[in-house]
Amino acid sequence: MIAVTNEDKILLILQQIQVDINELKQRVTSVETKLDTVDVKINSLDNTVVALDKKVNSVYDHTANLAEFRTETNVKLDVITDKLNAVEAVTKENLYDIAKLKLVK
C-alpha cells in the first residue's frame, strides 16, 4: 500500500485548484465573448433608436406643417365662402331688380 503524504495531498489540492482556475478562465472567456456580442447588438439598437428618432422628428415636423396648412386652407375657404355669399346676395338683388324692370316695361 502506498502511503499518501501531506505533500501529495497538497499537490492534489493544488492540481484541482489549477483545474478549477482553468475552467473559470474558460467561463470568463465565454462570458466576455457573449458580452462582446451583446455590445454589438446594443450598438445596433442604439443606431436603430437614432434612426427612429429622426423619423419621429420628421413625422412631427410634417404633422406641424400639415396642421398649419389645414388652418390656412380653412381660413381661405372661409373667405371664399363669405365672398360667394356676398355674390349670391348681389345676384339675388340683381335678379329682383331685373324682374322689377321687366314689369315696368
Q: What are the pLDDT tens digits along the chain (105 aa)? A: 678 899 999 999 999 999 999 999 999 999 999 999 999 999 999 999 999 999 999 999 999 999 999 999 999 999 999 999 999 999 999 999 999 999 987
* Reported pTM: 0.56
- How far apart are alpha carbons 105 and 51 in whole angstroms? 79
**Reduced to 3 states, what is the DSSP secondary structure of residue 7?**
helix
Cα torsion angle, 16, 17, 20, 26, sign? negative
Written as nine digits, the cell of 36 is: 462582446
pLDDT at 4: 82
Q: Which residue type is seen at 93? A: E
**Reduced to 3 states, what is the DSSP secondary structure of residue 81?**
helix
pLDDT at 77: 98
pLDDT at 3: 81
